[in-house]
Chains A and B, each alone.
Chain A
């Protein structure tokens, strides 16, 4: 078998990392949809918090692919949020639909900001001092 080109190897590596993160992310979202029936508010807020946290820490491409693109990307969902809102509007619960939109937006952005803040604090307090000076 001929040696794989570097780009194919990189792509396979990316696929593996994204897949390993995406499967538990999607399974958790599905289970929370079944158990909580909160129209994905919790998973969207928690996923945004984790992604914010990740961005506050030093950038690592592999962790970004595994946890950021794979896990957080699949744990959270834009499409179910929109479809749930449309479902509420179609069943005459327009106010609940706007509540769902506003709550997910507000808590999601707040979660991402909180995660980013925590990530930066952790980096500044625990990681940065031990790093060799430039």
Chain B
């Protein structure tokens, strides 16, 4: 299960710290891209939460695809496949999407008594999120 021997990578001495490195390396561009997209949407739309909505949907589709490919047996059980799933799935797309910002944004609409917008944001995120995650998952399962 060792992808690289410890002499080749130096400071990485065991497999689990290699996995941790993959998760961390994926998380940085994921979180960074989320910040850029949310800041980009801010002047275009009156409410900031639609930027979060967009990154969440993109990530849900992509993570669905990753899981679908894994389930379809496209990814073998080698250390390389595991590392790639951790880098792209858990690290990058897991960090690209966020629940805490979504929760706080829904809370803000509720506190301002914008009930319609709260329902639209919550139901829209969940329904669209389920649909795109299912689409990605199904696409991953398709026999190519």
Interface string of B7-47 (1 = CB under 8 A from A): 00000000000001001101110111011000000000000
Known: A74-B95, A109-B107. A18 touches B23 (CB 8 A): no
Partner of A79, one of B26, B93, B104: B93
| CB atoms of B104 and A19 under 8 A apart | no
A112 touches B104 (CB 8 A): yes
A48/B99 in contact, CB under 8 A: yes
**Beta-carbon contact of B96 and A79 below 8 Å:** yes
A83 touches B31 (CB 8 A): no
Q: Which residues from 83 to 99 on chain A have a C-beta closer than 8 Å to any C-beta of chain B?
A: 83, 85-87, 89-90
- Report B1 CB to chain A, min CB distance, Å: 16
In angstroms, Cα B29 to Cα A90, docked, is 31
Known: A47-B99, A69-B34, A73-B95. A78 touches B125 (CB 8 A): yes
Main secondary structure of the interface of B (DSSP, over half): helix
Contacts known (A26-B23, A26-B90, A73-B31); A48 close to B100, Cβ less than 8 A: yes
One digit per residue, 1 when the CB lies within 8 angstroms of any chain B CB and 0 when it does not, for chain A 14-25 equals 110011011101
Q: Is A73 a contact partner of B130 (Cβ separation < 8 A)?
A: no
- With the chains together, A89 CA to B98 CA distance in Å? 22
Number of interface residues of A (CB under 8 A): 51
A29: which B residues are within 8 A, CB to CB? 90, 94
User: Which residues of B lie under 8 Å from residue A113 when comparing CB positions?
Assistant: 107
Q: Is the CB of A79 within 8 A of B63?
A: yes
Closest chain-B Cβ to A76's Cβ sits at a distance in Å of: 4
Known interface pairs A26-B91, A30-B23, A79-B56. Does A19 touch B28 (Cβ–Cβ under 8 Å)?
yes
Interface residues of B (CB under 8 A from A): 20, 23-24, 26-28, 30-32, 34-35, 56, 59-60, 62-64, 67, 86, 90-91, 93-104, 106-107, 110, 122, 125-126, 129-130, 132-134, 136-137
Q: List 18 A-B contacts (CB under 8 A).
A: A27-B27, A29-B94, A30-B86, A47-B100, A52-B104, A52-B107, A69-B101, A73-B31, A74-B27, A74-B95, A76-B103, A78-B125, A79-B96, A80-B63, A83-B60, A90-B134, A105-B126, A113-B107
Nearest 4 CB-CB pairings of A with B: A26-B27, A22-B31, A76-B99, A79-B59
Knowing that A73-B34, A111-B103 are A-B contacts, what are 8 other residue pairs whose CB atoms are under 8 Å apart, sorted by A's residue number? A15-B28, A25-B95, A26-B26, A48-B99, A51-B104, A78-B59, A104-B99, A109-B110
